Structure 1
Amino acid sequence: MPHSAIRMRSAMELNEAVAASETLVQRLLDGVAEIGRDPPGITRDAYGPGESRAHALLAETARGMGMEVSVDAGANLSMVWRAADPAGPPVIIGSHLDSVVQAGNFDGAAGVIAGMGVVAALQAAGVRPRHDIEVLALRCEEAVWFGLGLIGSRCLLGRLPEGALELRHARTGLTLAESIAACGGDPSKLGAPLRVPATIGAYLEAHIEQAPQLIEAGSPIGICLANPGNLRHPHIRITGEEAHTGLPHRFRRDAALAGADLSLSLERLWLAEEAQGRPMAVTIGRFFTPADRHSLTAVSGTFEMSLDLRAYSPDHLAALEPALHRVVAEVEARRGVTIDLGPRSAAAPGPMDPGLIEALAAAAGQGVPRLNSPGSHDANNFAASGVPTGMIMVRNRNGSHNPHEAMDTPDLMAAVGVMAEWLATR
């Protein structure tokens, strides 16, 4: 028998147990899909009925597996398989259960359910952990609901920005504090970390890929190297001057053209940075003239848009902020408008732990791709807090944040197998 931190009878038994846990994994994937059904896609609203019903399904399943279930002050769901005699800090496997509106079923949810599959496989293989294994369903990872993302992990690790509890839910209008309280949390306790990062042994997250890198590579899984951090301005407002459509160009202060100019200027910045070997991304998600004022026969005096800037290193992300302000000033001068960037939020980049990269790659076997994720995830906050963090990306056709996500369950089970083997040999 191999030496291991967790006793097991054989690698073959572990592989068989992972295969057997696919039934549980598929049942949970189908269950959260039914909860979120919102044709043509899936909607599980954060701190709302969709996310909460998914939490309830996972909690019921965890109790049936002999796991301890609790809800913290941020309303995150913790499901712990206790070690008989813990020899070290817990290992957390986590992700989120909320979605954007009418999205696919797998972004986030697959990672939480993979954690349940890992515990089920280890239990079936006769393994008893020497470390507590905790599956976390973190609240409100998606920024669409409050204009701020990664909220559950921010709550857990004391990383909520000032004023966050007063942000309002896009559907209910409740503040974040009211929303947390309504789901069993306690916002009065969120001024400090709910967990001391040094007391967490490791954080693992499985997540569907959001660019077709694994489709291209023909691999079911990949080992993540880093997640980008982001700088976000969800409510940019450009103010010019309303005018008749025949007004000559030299007299115009056209807010709509200024919005287009700002967008294309940021794209030029993006391409220039990538040409210098500094990967990043620019996304304009909201882009419109106000519906109550726009007209076919009027130059728009106001324009609204959003901006998400992403980069993989803290220094690069920090350098992009003054670059953004330079671009804004240039567009203002060129177009005769004022640009109010409005509220700002940021998430730190998430470089994965080198030791975990190597350990997960060894468990995955020869030739597994190593790749950056284009998305920011709860893993970012754990990595930024000093917790050893590792991620496994799972093959997925058609990207994410749309109804056409197409992850195959056997590919997710490959990620379950890698995490189970790492835990069994740790």
Structure 2
Amino acid sequence: MNAQPAPFADVRAQDHALAARLFDDVARLSPDVEGVSRPAFSAIETQTLKYLEDVAKVEGLAVWYDAGCNALFSLPEDRDAERVVVVGSHVDSVPFGGNFDGLAGVVAGLICLIRARREGRRFAKPVHVLAMRGEESAWFGPCYIGSKVLTGTLAKRELEETHKGDGRTLEEHMADIGLPVEDIRAQKPLMDVSRMEAYLELHIEQGPLLIGKNIPAATVSGIRGNIRYRAITCHGEAGHSGAVPKAYRRDPVLAMADLLVRLDESWTTILNKGDDLVLTSGIVATDPEKHAMSRIPDRVSFSLDMRSQKPETLDDMRALLKSEIKEIERDRRVRFDLGEELRVEPALCDKGLVAGLEEAMRKVGQEPFVMPSGGGHDAAVFAGAGVPAAMVFVRNRNGSHNPQEAMEIDDFLAGVDILSAFLAGAE
């Protein structure tokens, strides 16, 4: 005679306690002066994966590592399935970051597996949970490194990007933890994506929409692509702040400011036309060895991140950027060096998966809500590799990439419910 299922309240309390423990334990493994720091391809990232491995084994799950040194989890009977639905996200964080960005998606997948294991049930299709390394661009510059490695799409030049802390290359850091760098350099996929029925990712929302609408979770329609310049440099001419008249100045800081103001004005115009765009310059610096209040700097460097759901808008913004630069160079007698351009194409979520997640929301008593993703995610890389992909967002106060991420465990479990219901009936 089969055991009677535990009352819902008891199951919910178990899930709540487990999720809170996992998040708290990982936060204690990766503290920073403020928030957490789990650098990509670091010992802390490895330690985080090992902790999740230990938890999964205690719960009776199968655990193994792929060629990219990412951790995978499944029900024991699904370990060697020919085709699988992959639920995944990343475990690294930005410096001084929040604890939920990325990690929430991995913990969500684990709880779906643990629920099924404890209740003695199977999913409609075999499920593998993928805990990836290296999604954040903050450490080396390129984004989605782990998923690009798996799909064979990491550019050779990206391997030469250097770590913001120690100056060593991405390739060196990968070699340190045992990744097959020769295969990666040859852009050999480390995963057979033809085995993937779908890729699903739960993630905290990185904006205020769900908070404003008082909705705990949502499905995602698509993911913005981006064009990024890690270090644009504007070269001018140094001078004394009190002795050089305006007409004789070649001030790179004012030239940079001029450019950013022009881009901001164009941003407003694009939004007024109903198109999608966001712009950010998150790093701005003059040379710390030379800068002074009384000195006109000879150069300034800054980053630029342009994102849109439309490739055409990204193309237009690149052309506008170069056009404005030419005009400013002529008017202010400076020179811009854009440096290396990094680009990720926008990705639409699979319509069938989105519809399935909407139906799962109904099954668990949530009103379906679909929204776009402003931030980029590994789901975009898998979608670009031909894998049907979709996402679930969870309400989160204070945005992401900061220590004030404030996802509530009850909201997180609302997102887990959607995933679990979908996996139980996936077609």
CA distance in 1, matches of 2:5, 2:325: 58
Kindly tell me: are residues 305 and 189 of structure 1, through their superposed partners in 2, closer, same or farther at Cα, counting changes over 3 Å?
A: same
Secondary structure at the counterpart of residue 167 of structure 1? coil
Give the corresponding residue for 1:173: 167
1:315, CA displacement in angstroms? 2.9
Give the corresponding residue for 2:357: 360
| TM-score relative to the length of structure 2 | 0.93
Alignment counterpart, residue 310 of structure 2, candidates 310, 313, 325: 313
Give the corresponding residue for 2:413: 413
1:83, CA displacement in angstroms? 4.2
* Equivalent position amino acid for 1:252 in 2: R
Give the corresponding residue for 2:146: 152
Query: Does 1:92 find its partner at 2:82?
Result: no
| TM-score relative to the length of structure 1 | 0.93
* Equivalent position amino acid for 2:389 in 1: T
Give the corresponding residue for 1:223: 219
Structure 1 stretches of at least 4 aligned residues deviating more than 4 Å after TM superposition: 8-19, 82-88
1:297-324 CA deviation, whole Å, 9 max, x = no partner? Answer: 2211211100111011233323322222
CA distance in 2, matches of 1:198, 1:64: 31
On the 8 A contact 2:124/2:423 being kept in 1, the answer is no
Query: 28-37 or 59-68, which moves further after superposition?
Result: 59-68
Q: Give the 5 Å matches for 1:238-317.
A: 238-245=234-241, 246-317=243-314
1:199, CA displacement in angstroms? 2.0
Give identity over the alignment, percent: 36
CA distance in 2, matches of 1:242, 1:170: 27
Secondary structure at the counterpart of residue 172 of structure 1? coil
Q: Give the 5 Å matches for 1:125-140.
A: 125-129=119-123, 131-140=125-134
Which residues of structure 2 form unaligned runs of 5+? none
CA distance in 1, matches of 2:225, 2:413: 28
CA distance in 1, matches of 2:133, 2:81: 29
1:103, CA displacement in angstroms? 1.2
* Equivalent position amino acid for 2:419 in 1: M
1:145-191 CA deviation, whole Å, 9 max, x = no partner? Answer: 10111100010111101222222222233321221122232212222
* Equivalent position amino acid for 1:58 in 2: L
CA distance in 2, matches of 1:91, 1:56: 23
CA distance in 2, matches of 1:58, 1:389: 24
Query: 408-417 or 189-198, which moves further after superposition?
Result: 189-198
Give the corresponding residue for 1:4: none
* Equivalent position amino acid for 1:276 in 2: K
Alignment counterpart, residue 211 of structure 1, candidates 204, 207, 215: 207
* Equivalent position amino acid for 2:55 in 1: T
Give the corresponding residue for 1:351: 348
Give the corresponding residue for 1:3: none
Query: 246-255 or 407-416, which moves further after superposition?
Result: 246-255
Query: 142-151 or 175-184, which moves further after superposition?
Result: 175-184
Query: Does 1:111 find its partner at 2:105?
Result: yes
Which residues of structure 1 form unaligned runs of 5+? 1-7
Aligned length: 419
Supply the RMSD in Å over aligned alpha carbons.
2.2
CA distance in 2, matches of 1:31, 1:96: 16
1:124, CA displacement in angstroms? 2.3
Give the corresponding residue for 1:185: 179
CA distance in 2, matches of 1:282, 1:303: 19
CA distance in 1, matches of 2:6, 2:357: 18
Secondary structure at the counterpart of residue 156 of structure 2? coil
Kindly tell me: are residues 348 and 48 of structure 1, through their superposed partners in 2, closer, same or farther at Cα, counting changes over 3 Å?
A: same
